[in-house]
Structure 1
Amino acid sequence: MREPVTTTTRPRDADLAELALRLGDDALVLGQQLCQWITRAPMIEEDLALSNIALDLIGHARVLLSRSGALEGSGRDEDDLAFGRTEREFRNALLVELPNGDFAVTIARHLVFSHYAVPFYERLAGCGDAELAAFAARAAAEVGSHRRHASDWTLRLGLGTAESARRMQSGLDRIWPHAAELFESDPVVERLVDAGLHPRPDEVRVAWHEGVADVLARAELTEPAPDWHATGGRAGLHTEAFGPLVAEMQSVHRQFPGGTW
């Protein structure tokens, strides 16, 4: 049985730890998802492209989870947070844990997330926490290349054959109800915004929508208008697919606890 976590964290640090945890979980889970395309992508170039994007995201997760552990003051490091928590303790948005589906579904998820991540990190780079700001400045450049990759593939599929356009539209319809959660606010976000430590969600959403709407228009695809929106991931309420994903991700660590390579 795990010992309860005890901290002596200041309120502001606790909020920053939660922010870093949410962002780190987003990056970790999405990186894990993209790794599943290795040897399964439509072409070898995409094996390499998606694996490189996954490596970027897992690198982001390492920095963010390490920062979260340091801020919470519990002594937990990046491995403890990645491999030592149950699924209900993860704080990622539901979008990133959705099953990969076919390639078009993955690209739709990639489009939605990367167009959100760029303006978010660009604004976070100006926040009052020096370490998170420095990380965000680097991350913004990396996710900018992810955004170009997602946009290029959306155009390629949307303007390709009738079948590729149909699948891309279907992928967008599948993913779109999960986009709104990325811009939700709660007391943690509100306190951080007031302290100049978090981008304003409405500003990020406007920049996100301008970007994706432009890509969809050029790809001759229709922006979905869902009548429901997913929520709950930031509170630890996850989809049925998430438990098996976490179990696979943590399997080696659980088999060989304390192992080093």
Structure 2
Amino acid sequence: MSGDAPAADVAAYALRLGDDALVLAQRLGEWAARGPTIEEDVALLNIGLDLLGQARTLLGHVGTLDGTGRDEDDLAYRRDEREFVNAQLMELPNGDFGRTMARQLLVSAYQVPMYAALASSTEPTLAAVAGKAAKESRYHLDHAASWVVRLGDGTAESRARVEAGLAQVWPYAAELFESDAVLDRCVAAGVAPAQEPLRQRWDSTLDAVLADAGLERPSTSWAPTGGRRGLHTEHLGYLLAELQHVARSHPGASW
């Protein structure tokens, strides 16, 4: 345990972070050989690999914390859809390049302050993961922000596409800042950062980027929820079918 947080709570929190990283990595991997330029193929895949590295460490740590002995492969390949606790934002289809950049902007603007704060966690493994992830997420944010500005301040077509992408993904960002009993106990124990300061940093980052891009915040009162409780969009099942197919088809195989 760390502080007053039970190991089960720390495991649950680490699983959320790990699932977020794993699912978004899988989505970004779908851009292989499909980016607008070869440089963007490489950039998006490198971001996905950063996220995959985070997921591997976090998921492996969950198996130690919860006492089940499950490893990263067990948690990635041998859980069903309702057992995943990623935010729904991570599982949304890529859409076009503008939509992918809009989603990455929302995610990275959250991860930068979250990992910076988590680097001071009372839980040593989470603090270590966060120390490296904080540096990676700053690059991810710079990359997404630069593209949103270029698209928003570009042609009528590029502006329309990034505006549409923002409108589609924006409502799902609210789930990133939800609190519940597990998170509250982790925050009280110094394991996890409080949500309100993260929301304030996220808001200020988004305001600055959108101003540079000449874009307005999408207006919506709809806030999807449920991902942290295993309730997902119809898209996650298809993503997991592709992610898990080989491992489930050949259980116990190694290569």
Give the TM-score normalised by structure 2: 0.97
Partners of 2:116 and 2:244 in 1: how far apart?
31
Partners of 1:25 and 1:209 in 2: how far apart?
24
Of 162, 186, 190, which residue of structure 2 is paired with 1:168?
A: 162
SS at structure 2 position matched to 1:239: coil
**1:203-214 matched pairs, under 5 angstroms:** 203-214=197-208
- Would you say 1:187 and 2:162 are equivalent positions? no
Partners of 2:87 and 2:206 in 1: how far apart?
19
Partners of 1:11 and 1:41 in 2: how far apart?
43
2:234 paired residue number = 240
- 8 Å CA contact 2:163, 2:215 repeated in 1: yes
Deviation per CA, 1:144-174: give whole Å up to 9, x if none: 1000000010011011101101111111000
Which aligned runs of 4 or more in structure 1 are off by greater than 2 angstroms?
none
Of 111, 115, 123, which residue of structure 1 is paired with 2:117?
A: 123
- Would you say 1:219 and 2:213 are equivalent positions? yes
TM-aligned CA deviation for residue 193 of structure 1: 0.8
Partners of 2:172 and 2:207 in 1: how far apart?
16
Counterpart residue type for residue 256 of structure 1: H
- Would you say 1:58 and 2:52 are equivalent positions? yes
Unmatched runs of 5 consecutive residues or more in structure 1: 1-9
Partners of 1:67 and 1:207 in 2: how far apart?
28
1:24 paired residue number = 18
Deviation per CA, 1:169-224: give whole Å up to 9, x if none: 11100010000100000000111111111111011010011111100001000111
- Would you say 1:75 and 2:72 are equivalent positions? no
- 8 Å CA contact 2:5, 2:186 repeated in 1: no
Partners of 1:11 and 1:150 in 2: how far apart?
35
- 8 Å CA contact 2:5, 2:185 repeated in 1: no
Aligned alpha-carbon RMSD (Å): 0.9
Deviation per CA, 1:48-101: give whole Å up to 9, x if none: 000111111000000000011110010111000000000000000000000111
2:97 paired residue number = 103
Counterpart residue type for residue 254 of structure 2: T
1:198 paired residue number = 192
Aligned residues: 252
Fraction of identical pairs, as percent: 55
TM-aligned CA deviation for residue 134 of structure 1: 1.2
TM-aligned CA deviation for residue 11 of structure 1: 6.1
Partners of 1:227 and 1:129 in 2: how far apart?
36
Give the TM-score normalised by structure 1: 0.95
Partners of 1:124 and 1:173 in 2: how far apart?
29
TM-aligned CA deviation for residue 131 of structure 1: 1.3
1:7 paired residue number = none
TM-aligned CA deviation for residue 142 of structure 1: 0.5
Counterpart residue type for residue 29 of structure 1: V
Deviation per CA, 1:85-128: give whole Å up to 9, x if none: 00000000000000111111111100000000010000011111
- 8 Å CA contact 2:15, 2:62 repeated in 1: yes
Partners of 2:5 and 2:38 in 1: how far apart?
48
